[in-house]
């Protein structure tokens, strides 16, 4: 009966315009519509599928501003049992390593974790490294970019799918898994699930609650910092012609002039 922690993250909707704030080059989280990152729904779904087959408990974990409660509620309404939310103004501007350290500490607050499941890459930061860094910090094996997960007793098998192809992986629990796009189709929360989610426990921690000094996190102590950030000058529209039966030839002429063919 695996005890599963699923990581979820509230991200700016990729269909809206995303900005960096002028003052400190951090993500302007207020300016864009926020949603539960799509890949996280697949992570939650996978946890629920394992629970339905083998029992156990699913805890949702999110590190982020108060707005992250929306993402947590969505995961709970899909069927997760409880949630842990780490929210602390001191976290603002934390780098991926600091954030991973906080997540690892928060995972430590959940008893007897067998499996940590995350999305393989968030659509905002796109570092694609958080699950691997967590495995490093927790001392767990990493089975990332999964398109299929099988758990048998204390061992886990994963089919990893990347640009390189498929890699079959095997390890012992506890382990960190990240899921890719193809793993499953996430369910929609039912009305009953949405109602039930309102009564599910959400435990909130500050950084200090996790035994981490506020001075270790946040923009001022990040392991990397942004020197300058500028909106890319919008690509100017180039030439445009209407096809008069010679559109292909026109493109070829352009490409030849540009030395591209």
Partner 1 sequence: MSEVLVLVDHVDGEIKKVTFELLTAARQIGEPSAVVVGSPGTAAKLKESLAAYGAAKVYVAESDDATGYLVTPKVDVLAALVEKAAPAAVLVAATADGKEIAGRLAARTGSGLLVDAIGIENTAGSGDGAVVVAVQSIFGGAFVVKSKSNKGTPIVSVRPGGLEAEQAQGAAAEEAVDVPAADAAKSARITGQEPIVGGDRPELTEASVVVSGGRGVGSAEQFEVVEKLADAFGAAVGASRAAVDSGYYPPQFQVGQTGKTVSPQLYVALGISGAIQHRAGMQTSKTIVAVNKDAEAPIFEIADFGVVGDLFAVAPQLTEEVGKRKG
State yes or no: residue 229 binds partner 1 (CB under 8 A). yes
Q: CA-CA distances (angstroms) from residue 125 to 20, 121, 150?
A: 12, 8, 29
Nearest to 136 by CA among 155, 122, 153, 116: 116
Query: Could you tell me the smallest distance in angstroms from the CB atom of residue 190 to partner 1?
Result: 24
Nearer to partner 1, 73 or 145 (CB): 145
Query: Could you tell me the smallest distance in angstroms from the CB atom of residue 72 to partner 1?
Result: 22
Binding mask 72-91 for partner 1 (x = CB under 8 A): --------------------
C-alpha 210/C-alpha 233 separation (Å) is: 42
Binding mask 158-197 for partner 1 (x = CB under 8 A): x-x-xxxxxxxxxxx--x-----xx---------------
State yes or no: residue 250 binds partner 1 (CB under 8 A). yes
Environment class of 87 (CB within 10 Å of its CB; exposed 0-12, middle 13-18, buried 19+): middle
CB neighbour list of residue 1: distance below 8 Å, 6 or more residues apart: 54, 55, 56, 57
Positions 16 through 75 that interact with partner 1 (CB under 8 A): 17-20, 25, 38
Nearest to 86 by CA among 13, 32, 29, 9: 9
State yes or no: residue 141 binds partner 1 (CB under 8 A). yes
C-alpha 236/C-alpha 135 separation (Å) is: 44
State yes or no: residue 8 binds partner 1 (CB under 8 A). no
State yes or no: residue 118 binds partner 1 (CB under 8 A). no
Among 58, 88, 140, 183, binds partner 1 (CB under 8 A): 140
Q: Which stretch binds partner 1 (CB under 8 A): 42-50, 61-69, 80-88, 222-230?
A: 222-230
Two structure tokens written together for 14: 């990729």
Q: CA-CA distances (angstroms) from residue 98 to 69, 172, 184, 208, 213?
A: 21, 27, 30, 14, 11
Among 113, 133, 151, 207, binds partner 1 (CB under 8 A): 133
Among 8, 76, 135, 207, binds partner 1 (CB under 8 A): 135
Peptide bond into 8 cis (omega under 30): no
State yes or no: residue 260 binds partner 1 (CB under 8 A). yes
Q: Could you tell me how many residues of this chain bind partner 1 (CB under 8 A)?
A: 85
State yes or no: residue 223 binds partner 1 (CB under 8 A). yes
Query: Which DSSP symbol is given to 191?
Result: H
Query: Could you tell me the smallest distance in angstroms from the CB atom of residue 242 to partner 1?
Result: 5
State yes or no: residue 144 binds partner 1 (CB under 8 A). yes
């Amino acid at each position: 009966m695996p005890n599963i922690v699923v990581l979820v993250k509230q991200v700016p909707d990729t269909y809206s315009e995303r900005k960096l704030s002028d003052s400190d080059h951090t993500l302007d989280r207020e300016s864009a519509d926020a949603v539960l990152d799509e890949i996280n729904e697949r992570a939650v779904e996978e946890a629920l599928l394992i629970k339905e087959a083998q029992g156990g408990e699913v805890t949702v974990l999110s590190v982020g501003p108060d707005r992250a409660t929306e993402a947590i509620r969505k995961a709970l309404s899909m069927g997760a049992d409880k949630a842990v939310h780490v929210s602390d103004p001191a976290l603002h501007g934390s780098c991926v390593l600091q954030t991973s350290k906080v997540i690892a500490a928060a995972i430590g607050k959940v008893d007897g974790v067998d499996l940590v499941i995350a999305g393989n890459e968030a659509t905002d930061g796109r570092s694609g490294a958080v699950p691997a860094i967590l495995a490093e910090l927790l001392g767990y094996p990493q089975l990332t970019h999964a398109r299929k997960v099988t758990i048998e007793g204390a061992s886990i098998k994963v089919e990893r799918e990347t640009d390189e192809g498929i890699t079959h992986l095997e390890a012992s629990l506890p382990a960190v898994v990240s899921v890719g796009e193809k793993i499953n189709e996430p369910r929609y929360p039912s009305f009953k699930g949405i109602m039930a989610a309102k009564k599910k426990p959400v435990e909130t921690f500050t950084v200090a609650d996790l035994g981490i000094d506020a001075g270790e996190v946040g923009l001022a102590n990040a392991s990397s910092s942004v020197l300058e950030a500028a909106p890319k000058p919008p690509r100017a529209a180039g030439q445009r012609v209407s096809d008069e039966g010679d559109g292909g030839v026109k493109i070829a002429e352009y490409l030849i002039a540009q030395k591209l063919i």
